[in-house]
Structure 1
Amino acid sequence: MYRVRVFGDPVLRKRAKPVTKFDEALKRTIERMIETMYHYDGVGLAAPQVGISQRFFVMDVGNGPVAVINPEILEASPETEIAEEGCLSFPEIFVEIERSKRVKVRYQNVRGEFVEEELEGYPARVFQHEFDHLNGVLIIDRIKPAKRLLLRKRLMDIAKSARG
């Protein structure tokens, strides 16, 4: 199991690098990430959240765990919806985030094979959230400044815990 990095850890702000090796080490890392995600009752976990600056994440929106490697969002619907999101890197913080209702995505699986699919609703939301992590974008970047100001003290406490 991995330690989940929290707000304040610099790895969360970096743009992750593409995965180039689809080997046993990657499979083991993904298995550990899935274990970590379940341990913390998450539905998604991006590699940067466990200190690995590479472009992959795991998610489980009810159909079993999926490894998403080198993802792209090919299309995002103009229709959006606002819903509450939490994040393992922001313990006990939940905020309303606006995201596209539908996305067409392409990614590679653990064997390096390309997968293309359309996601809608909750799966689309989780995919977009985890995809953001790969670009150094966090949920607090997607909220209004006034809301961020209200969370300032809590965010400072989380950042302080990241420094040890």
Structure 2
Amino acid sequence: MHETEITLASILRFGDPRLESTAHAVDFPDSELNQNINHLREALVLFQQHYKWGRSIAAPQIGIMKCIVAINTPHLPSVLINPEIIWHSTETQLVWDDCMSLPEIAVEVERWKHITVKYQTIDGDIKFLESLSPQDSELLQHEIDHLSGIIMTHRMTSAHRVISRELRTA
């Protein structure tokens, strides 16, 4: 993306083939990195303002095929570059997963309860997120899946485990 205005329509919808494509690792230095991150943050804020939910977004969701995740939660870094799961617990959890690319529904998925993530900062420094809570673990698994072209419906426990997001939050 170049000097493009970010709108809600910038968030790709299910069915767009880019959502099922693998993103590329960011090589440092990357002259577009700051602009890519700003576009991600803008899309996340617009989505949150409109829908009143959403904690993170992966770059492929706005058509940027790079391994970047923007996060808006108080206890996680705001940007993860080239994140990868390097450890996971054997214990799993069933969660209702929702997605900005299909905001009308939630699907039940099985996720690891705890993970460790290796990532890079905007400066290219390598960092680790360890001892993540179950909530943060499932969030990051969802976003890292996006970077590999995996969408939530690929991980559904059953075709019958789909609900309207309105019912889930009621």
TM-score, scaled to structure 2: 0.81
Q: Which residue of 2 aligns with 1:136?
A: 149
Paired with 1:105 and 1:44, the residues of 2 have a C-alpha distance of 15
Structure 1: distance between partners of 2:77 and 2:43: 12
State the one-letter code of the partner of 2:26.
V
* Alpha-carbon contact 2:109-2:157 (below 8 Å) kept: no
The answer for the alignment partner of 1:48 in structure 2 is: 60
Which whole-Å CA distance do the structure 2 matches of 1:22 and 1:85 have between them? 34
In structure 1, runs of 5+ residues without a counterpart are: 155-164
How many angstroms apart in 1 are the aligned matches of 2:58 and 2:46?
15
Alignment of 1:36-115 (within 5 A): 36-41=43-48, 42-63=54-75, 66-115=78-127
Q: CA deviation at 1:84?
A: 1.3
Q: RCO higher in 1 or 2 (8 Å CA, sep ≥ 6)?
A: 1
The answer to whether the Cα contact below 8 Å between 1:22 and 1:110 also exists between their aligned partners in 2 is no
One-letter amino acid of the counterpart of residue 32, structure 1: H
Identity of aligned residues (%): 35
TM-score using structure 1 length? 0.84
Secondary structure of the 1:12 match is helix
Q: Which structure is higher in helix share? A: 1
SS in 1 for 2:32: helix
1:86-105 per-position Cα deviation (integer Å, ceiling 9, x unaligned): 10011211112211111011
Q: Report the Cα distance in structure 1 between the residues aligned to 2:95 and 2:158, rounded to whole angstroms.
A: 18
Supply the RMSD in Å over aligned alpha carbons.
2.0
Larger deviation: 77-86 or 16-25? 16-25
- Partner SS for 2:93: strand
Aligned length: 151
Distance 1:44 1:91 in 2: 13
Quick check: 1:72–1:105 contact (8 Å CA) kept in 2? yes
Cα gap change, 1:63/1:50 in structure 2, threshold over 3 Å: closer, same or farther?
A: same
What whole-Å deviation, never above 9, does each CA across 1:100-128 have from its counterpart, x for those lacking one? 11101100011111011212211111110
Q: Which runs of 4+ in 1 moved over 4 A?
A: none
2:57–2:143 CA contact under 8 A, matched in 1: yes
**Alpha-carbon displacement from aligned partner over 1:112-154 (angstroms, at most 9, x marks no partner):** 1101121221111111000000000000001135337x78xx9
Q: Which residue identity lines up with residue 155 of structure 2 in the other structure?
A: R
CA–CA distance in structure 2, aligned partners of residues 124 and 87 of structure 1: 15
